[in-house]
């Protein structure tokens, strides 16, 4: 298969994932192959499905570029999830590829020899964002570019290569220079324009949106600016919040059987005597015992 054919199949696979989930597409491919008694190749099956949905004829434009090789990049920003009327969803991230060499995309780091791209993931692949944060190093394979945005093609994959480290608040306070950091801690105070986060050793003020935040919340601050010992949220920052679990103070009711009640009271009676009568007799007995011998309360027996 030529590189052009690989590019076409990758493009079609990614476009089909915008109309159905990965499981649905795989099921449709298998059905199509079975309908030809197994004589149909996977790539041809994808082309047939794409043609039916009007995708096959919309091949990648001259401005599209297949990136067949595997490369690593740093996540610089994670954008909000987008949901569509069709029920599909996508989420994008801004990544910096230091080894791009100007092959694709427009970036702001050309002087350093690298490129900044937007990588968009669709449907089931959106779940990958639960394991990713700003500053992580990821490995990308089987991607192609369309209209300036990278997409995962057929057999494309994104995997975590190296997790970003959390900065210590002590290091932030001791470094007067402006830097971009990730911080993890618990909120110890909330003000109108800022909140205080502690990592267990020291605390630091964070300026930005304080809505929905409360003392005790566990937070992860990604891509925040550290300057003069304080932190500041920006449009490129991400704030993840985990609320503490509420502890119930209600004591659950205990339900006992007749046998268990009688055993707890230490009495033996006939089955035709109601529990209410037994309890009243027990209460009366205890009351009389308290009057006769107040020192030995609780030692009376029916």
When comparing pLDDT for 169 and 281, which is higher?
169
Whether residues 181 and 155 fall in one domain? no
Asked whether residue 302 is assigned to any structural domain, the reply reads no
Q: How far apart are CA 48 and CA 54, in angstroms?
A: 10
In a domain? residue 249: no
Domain that holds residue 114: 65-162
Question: Across residues 182-210, what is the average pLDDT?
Answer: 91
Q: Are residues 30 and 111 in the same domain?
A: no
Cα–Cα dist 50/29, whole Å: 11
Residue finishing a domain among 162, 188, 207 = 162
Confidence at residue 86, expressed as pLDDT on a 0 to 100 scale = 83
Do the domain assignments include residue 11?
Answer: yes
Please report the DSSP string for 263-294 in residue order. HHHT----TTS-HHHHHHHHHHHHHHHHHH-G
Q: Looking at the structure, do residues 75 and 99 belong to the same domain, yes or no?
A: yes
Instruction: Indicate the residue among 144, 162, 180 that finishes a domain.
Output: 162
155 has a pLDDT exceeding 70: yes
281 within some domain? yes
80 and 156 together in one domain: yes
C-alpha of 199 from chain center:
22
Q: How far apart are CA 237 and CA 108, in angstroms?
A: 18
Q: Which of 83, 113, 121, 79 is nearest to 96 (CA)?
A: 113
Structure tokens of 297?
Answer: 């309360």
Place of tokens 């915008």: 18
With residues binned 3-state (H G I as helix, E B as strand, rest as coil), the percentages for the chain, rounded to 5, are 30, 30, 40
Write down the pLDDT at residue 302: 31
Residue range 233-258: mean pLDDT, rounded: 75
Q: CA 300 to CA 83: how far, in whole Å?
A: 72
pLDDT at 116: 83
| pLDDT on residue 253 | 63
Same domain (yes/no): 153, 199: no
Region of 251 (left: φ > 0; alpha: ψ -120 to 50; beta: rest) is beta
Predicted model pTM:
0.51
pLDDT of 104 above 70 = no
Structure confidence at residue 133 (pLDDT): 85
107-134: pLDDT as tens digits: 334 444 577 888 999 888 889 888 888 8
pLDDT top residue among 13 and 279: 13
Distance in angstroms (rounded) separating the CA atoms of residues 86 and 52:
18
Average pLDDT over residues 30-54: 77
Q: What is the pLDDT at residue 150?
A: 86
Among 21-30, 94-103, 266-275, the range with the most confident prediction by mean pLDDT is 21-30
pLDDT, mean over the chain: 76
Contact 57, 51 (CB under 8 A): yes
Among 14-18, 78-82, 211-215, 244-248, the minimum mean pLDDT is found in 244-248
What is the number of structural domains in the chain? 4
Cβ-count burial 254-286 (b if 16+ within 10 Å, e if not):
eeeeeeeeeeebeeeeeeeeeeeebeeebeeee
Domain assignment present for residue 134? The answer is yes
Residue 133 lies in a domain: yes
Domain-located, residue 10: yes
């Amino acid at each position: 298969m030529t590189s052009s054919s690989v590019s076409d199949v990758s493009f079609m696979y990614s476009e089909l994932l915008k109309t159905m989930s990965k499981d649905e597409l795989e099921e449709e491919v298998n059905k199509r192959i079975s309908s030809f008694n197994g004589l149909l190749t996977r790539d041809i099956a994808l082309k047939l499905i794409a043609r039916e949905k009007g995708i096959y004829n919309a091949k990648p434009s001259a401005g599209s570029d297949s990136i067949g090789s595997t490369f690593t990049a740093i996540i610089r920003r994670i954008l909000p999830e987008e949901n569509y009327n069709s029920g599909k969803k996508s989420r994008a991230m801004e990544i910096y590829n230091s080894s791009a060499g100007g092959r694709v995309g427009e970036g702001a780091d050309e002087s350093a020899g690298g490129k900044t791209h937007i990588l968009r993931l669709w449907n089931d692949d959106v779940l990958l964002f639960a394991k990713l944060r700003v500053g992580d190093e990821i490995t990308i394979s089987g991607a192609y570019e369309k209209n300036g945005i990278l997409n995962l093609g057929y057999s494309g994959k994104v995997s975590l290569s190296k997790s970003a480290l959390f900065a210590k608040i002590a290091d932030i306070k001791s470094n007067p220079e402006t830097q971009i950091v990730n911080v993890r801690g618990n909120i110890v105070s909330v003000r109108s324009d800022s909140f205080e986060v502690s990592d267990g050793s020291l605390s630091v003020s964070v300026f930005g949106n304080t809505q929905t935040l409360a003392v005790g919340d566990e937070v992860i601050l990604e891509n925040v600016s550290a300057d003069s010992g304080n932190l500041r949220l920006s449009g490129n920052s991400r704030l993840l919040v985990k609320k503490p679990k509420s502890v119930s103070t209600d004591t659950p009711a205990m339900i006992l059987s007749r046998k268990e009640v009688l055993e707890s009271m230490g009495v033996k009676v006939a089955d035709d005597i109601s529990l209410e009568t037994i309890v009243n007799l027990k209460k009366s007995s205890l009351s009389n015992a308290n009057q006769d011998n107040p020192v030995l309360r609780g030692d009376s027996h029916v």
